[in-house]
Structure 1
């Protein structure tokens, strides 16, 4: 049996029971090296990370956990609309999934991208005893005008362009993945969304990375993390957009490994 093959894990989720598409990476390192948990972006999934998690885990000689949150990938779909606080909801739900995998009591190293970076920050703030450190790559802490511009472009590409077909390769229910995310963020009520107050209890080491050419946010996002968590390592990537793991993977790996080493000192 291939221990690294994706599988469906049953877990409690927001008052119900779901199936979560799950994959272990480098399982031979379990127990002797920190477990890196990958939290995908707002239109992401296990598959859409491509080979980056494996590259990072092999470089760091760490085990990895990659999964599709409910509503994404091959996990249980979730009907729209999602509430304005859906990321806060998911952060509170994730420990039950980790417990279902036998990770109760294990301190995790989180690697989050975009929505997943916001989720990593929330998870670390809500459950500081479960998180040893985190990477927040292209995070969102509050709404900016550029965020709405990117969301509207994504909707046009989904409804009139090729985005729907592209996502179909990665999600069992493409509309669940797209409209759950896009409808929530374009809802007028979402204009006041801000998680800075939630992050005041953030206590673990943090690396915050962002590309200068990010299509969804400005550097104000990672600068806010540095204000909330003194000692945060800031990494500004020139010539890089919203997906540093695809555009500058080696730089991201190098910076992550430096934080991992600091967490183990």
Structure 2
């Protein structure tokens, strides 16, 4: 049996609070390592909710994997105020330079789940000279009624104390903020015109869009739009919104095969 890739935990100061970061690799300095995979989590996500995926991905790809709790989530400090409307585009701009400085890498692969997939695309477009590839899993490319319907169902469920308590296992007393940051942002009329189109037009590297065939938060139009003219879309039969949890091994294998052909 292959030994698991070690995981190193630390905190990085952002100027607005500290974020919790985990790097899955043999060393925390990545200056001499292959370009890492940076993981961007979903709207309710946290480092611990990736479960075994980061270490499995590091083992399969032979690359460091960096995963972190966004400010306001998981073990990171509380977000100062309401989530801004440009949070998807801002994540890479604000956080990637901190990760690069902390771990000593220049080139990277951007990989994200759900809204984190949008963050991966935005980051790849912003750092097009240094981003080697993009992987999205269950990502949204535009506002779709199917997505909003799923969010409305979730918002109603989180009115139940037991549902919020389950989320609090990962986010502590930030759990209500986490739910509201997701539901109220996406359901706001001001967010209705959001798309990834401008960011996608800036992506200059290979792209893989993975999507569950039964994804309850987005139709097959999303991976098609993300990959059109710039990469490959893969639909996983019988899988919902979380390919990395529902089908970890096939998802890891898809990503490893995709990254194996990179020059770097």
**Which residue in 1 is equivalent to 2:224?**
223
Q: Could you say what secondary structure the match of 1:82 adopts? A: coil
**Which residue in 1 is equivalent to 2:209?**
208
How does the TM-score come out when normalised to structure 2?
0.91
Q: Check the 8 A contact 1:141/1:221 in 2, yes or no.
A: yes
**Which residue in 2 is equivalent to 1:98?**
99
Shift of 1:129: 1.7
Q: Distance in 2 between matches of 1:17 and 1:83?
A: 14
Q: Check the 8 A contact 1:9/1:19 in 2, yes or no.
A: yes
Matched, 1:83 2:72: no
**Which residue in 1 is equivalent to 2:7?**
4
Q: Could you say what secondary structure the match of 1:159 adopts? A: coil
Q: Check the 8 A contact 2:121/2:200 in 1, yes or no.
A: yes
Q: Distance in 2 between matches of 1:99 and 1:34?
A: 11
Shift of 1:32: 3.5
Q: Check the 8 A contact 2:7/2:55 in 1, yes or no.
A: no
Say how many residue pairs are matched.
Answer: 256
Shift of 1:61: 2.1
How does the TM-score come out when normalised to structure 1?
0.90
Task: Please provide the CA RMSD for this pair.
Answer: 1.8
Q: Distance in 2 between matches of 1:226 and 1:111?
A: 14
Q: Could you say what secondary structure the match of 2:140 adopts? A: coil
- Please give the per-residue CA displacement for 1:140-195, whole angstroms capped at 9, x wherever unaligned: 11100011111111111111263211111111311222211221111121111112
- Please give the per-residue CA displacement for 1:42-86, whole angstroms capped at 9, x wherever unaligned: 100111111111111112222111100101011121255323221
Shift of 1:231: 4.2
Cα distance change, pair 111–198 in 1 and its aligned pair in 2 (3 A): closer
Matched, 1:134 2:134: yes
Q: Check the 8 A contact 2:158/2:164 in 1, yes or no.
A: yes
**Which residue in 1 is equivalent to 2:162?**
162
Q: Check the 8 A contact 1:81/1:184 in 2, yes or no.
A: no
Q: Distance in 1 between matches of 2:38 and 2:114?
A: 15
Q: Distance in 1 between matches of 2:255 and 2:191?
A: 31
Shift of 1:28: 4.3
**4+ runs of 1 displaced by more than 3 Å?**
none
**Which residue in 1 is equivalent to 2:3?**
none
Instruction: List gaps (5 residues or longer) in structure 2.
Output: 1-5
Q: Distance in 2 between matches of 1:238 and 1:36?
A: 25
Q: Check the 8 A contact 1:80/1:183 in 2, yes or no.
A: no
**Which residue in 1 is equivalent to 2:146?**
146
**Which residue in 1 is equivalent to 2:240?**
241
- Please give the per-residue CA displacement for 1:74-121, whole angstroms capped at 9, x wherever unaligned: 1121255323221112232123322441435x1011221001100000
Q: How does 1:5-24 map to 2 (within 5 A)?
A: 5-11=8-14, 16-24=15-23
